[in-house]
């Protein structure tokens, strides 16, 4: 097992009724709050009104309309409010897009320059996190089980003009507190529930397929994967099933708070950098892109060196007969992964999304360059990425 530091200081308030603690949560930071949210789901489900009522003693400013695949323009707008109004704390109420946008706002507020320049600097390995020196404190109320953004320091922002979707992180962006009430995920539509389930599984698989052994992390990962496999179909059928929503929500948080990666060396991810190109070019739902790519990538990279990890995955996660030939187990595991996502109603080909191969070369070049795919589980060249994308057609 590799050395690691594990220090995730987000205070998690999980379960029914935890929202009532919101005033006490925000109070230590000050009275001026920037409330951020997306396209209106929190208003439709009554959460907006409840939050506003709880914040009656605070001075609340608002930034709504944050898009899925949040745009840099929203970051600029939020940072402007924070600077002009001297905001004490940002309260993000929504899914990963709202939380990610709020993280970028928190940092851009104190950055001397435009937000996109900041994001690109942090994403550049030569400059990195040093570009972020200060951030407005952030608290969140999560409404969608997917990204883990509620308990990690990462953010992903899109620039549709330059066709870029860039991830960056800083410990200063870790939410101070996140309120996770599964009841606020009851209204998540089936397609987003499915995409969220894929995203959770993908965050685990990105580090599970890793060259260095880490038994604890493997067992935690397998347990979380089985949790999603158990409960995603239940939540699809019964959107108001509390146990299903609760287990998905907590699995999503644990999948990307560092727990599944602790003790593993060499953690360059493979599928996310390629998916971010699909989202950047076509603005598709993150989880859909991941579902398309993952089984094709698995088939593309499977070989003598890595087959044992696929066997472990097949036997421990999908319950495939361990006495079978190892390549047969691996192939069955990959098929099971694909069929599971298909069964959740995810479109599993690019053609279904109306996407052809015209931008594959550019997307692949970008994924290799900005996603550091040369250091991935199995290093990928531009040609490899194009071949994988073609398998998705």
Among 181, 183, 199, 338, binds Zn ion (CB under 5 A): 199
Angle at alpha carbon of residue 375, lines to 369 and 376, rounded to 5°? 100
373: closest CA among 276, 260, 252, 303?
A: 276
Alpha-carbon distance 182 to 174, whole Å?
A: 21
Q: Quick one: CA dihedral 106, 110, 113, 117, positive or negative?
A: negative
Residue 366 makes contact with ligand NZQ by CB under 6 A: no
Nearest CA to 183 among 242, 235, 237, 230? Answer: 242
Q: Is 40 in the site for ligand NZQ (CB under 6 A)?
A: yes
Q: How far is the CB of 289 from ligand NZQ (least distance, A)?
A: 9
Binds 38, which of ligand NZQ, Zn ion, none (CB < 5 to 8 A, cut-off by type)? Answer: ligand NZQ
Q: Alpha-carbon Rg of the chain, whole angstroms?
A: 20
222 near Zn ion, rule: CB under 5 A: no
Of 116 and 330, nearer to ligand NZQ (C-beta) is: 116
Interface of this chain with ligand NZQ, residues 264 to 283, rule: CB under 6 A: 272
Piece of 9-17, 149-157, 299-307, 360-368 that binds ligand NZQ (CB under 6 A): 149-157
b/e 115-141 (16+ beta carbons within 10 angstroms → b)? bbebbbbbbeeeeeeebbeebbbbbbb
Q: Binding residue for ligand NZQ (CB under 6 A) from 58, 111, 184, 340?
A: 184
Angle in degrees, CA 389, 231, 275, rounded to 5: 20
Q: Which of 72-80, 141-149, 215-223, 385-393 is the region at the interface with ligand NZQ (rule: CB under 6 A)?
A: 141-149
Part in contact with ligand NZQ (CB under 6 A); list of ranges 2-10, 119-127, 153-161, 324-332: 153-161
Smallest distance, Å, CB 33 to Zn ion? 28
Single out the residue of 108, 36, 45 nearest to residue 67, CA to CA: 36
* Residue 78 engages ligand NZQ in binding (rule: CB under 6 A): no
Choose the stretch contacting ligand NZQ; rule: CB under 6 A; options: 54-62, 151-159, 239-247, 298-306.
151-159
Interface with ligand NZQ, residue 149, by CB under 6 A: yes
Tell me the closest approach of the beta carbon of residue 287 to ligand NZQ, in angstroms.
Answer: 6
Residue 138's DSSP bridge partners are: 90
Q: Compare residues 123 and 143 and give the one whose CB is closer to ligand NZQ.
A: 143
If 0-12 CB within 10 Å is exposed, 13-18 middle and 19+ buried, where does residue 96 land? buried
Q: How many residues sit close enough to Zn ion to count as binding (CB under 5 A)?
A: 1
> According to CB under 6 A, which one of 91, 131, 136, 146 is a site residue for ligand NZQ?
146
Measured in whole angstroms, how far is the alpha carbon of residue 279 from the centre of its chain?
Answer: 13
Binding interface with Zn ion (CB under 5 A)? 199
């Amino acid at each position: 097992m590799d050395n690691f530091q594990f220090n995730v200081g987000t205070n998690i308030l999980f379960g029914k009724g935890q929202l009532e603690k919101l005033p006490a949560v925000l109070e230590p930071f000050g009275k001026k709050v920037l409330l951020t949210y997306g396209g209106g789901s929190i208003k439709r489900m009554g959460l907006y009104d409840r939050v506003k009522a709880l914040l009656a003693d605070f001075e609340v400013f608002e930034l709504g309309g944050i898009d899925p695949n949040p745009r840099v323009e929203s970051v600029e707008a939020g940072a402007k409010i924070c600077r002009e109004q001297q905001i004490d704390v940002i309260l993000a109420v929504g899914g990963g897009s709202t939380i990610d946008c709020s993280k970028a706002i928190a940092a851009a507020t104190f950055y001397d320059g435009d937000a996109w320049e900041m994001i690109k600097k942090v994403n550049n390995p030569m400059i990195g996190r040093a570009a972020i020196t200060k951030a407005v404190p952030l608290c969140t109320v999560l409404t969608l089980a997917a990204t883990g953004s509620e308990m990690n320091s990462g953010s992903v922002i899109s620039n549709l003009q330059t066709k870029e979707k860039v991830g960056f992180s800083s410990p200063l962006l870790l939410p101070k507190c996140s309120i996770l009430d599964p009841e606020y995920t009851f209204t998540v539509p089936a397609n987003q529930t499915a995409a969220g389930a894929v995203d959770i599984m993908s965050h685990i698989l990105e580090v599970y397929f890793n060259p260095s052994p880490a038994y604890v992390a493997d067992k935690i990962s397998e347990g979380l994967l089985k949790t999603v496999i158990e409960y995603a179909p239940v939540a699809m059928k019964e959107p108001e099933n509390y146990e299903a929503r609760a287990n998905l929500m907590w699995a999503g948080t644990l999948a990307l708070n560092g727990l599944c990666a602790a003790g593993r060396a060499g953690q360059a991810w493979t599928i996310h950098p390629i998916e971010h190109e699909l989202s950047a070019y076509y603005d598709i739902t993150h989880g859909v892109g991941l579902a398309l790519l993952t089984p094709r990538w698995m088939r593309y990279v499977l070989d003598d060196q890595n087959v044992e990890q696929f066997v472990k995955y097949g036997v421990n996660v999908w319950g495939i007969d361990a006495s079978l030939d190892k390549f047969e187990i691996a192939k069955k595991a990959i098929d099971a992964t694909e069929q599971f996502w298909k069964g959740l109603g995810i479109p599993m080909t690019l053609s279904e999304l109306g996407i052809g191969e015209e931008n594959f070369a550019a997307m692949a070049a970008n994924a290799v360059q900005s996603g550091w795919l040369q250091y991935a589980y199995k290093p990928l060249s531009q040609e490899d990425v194009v071949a994988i994308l073609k398998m998705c057609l």
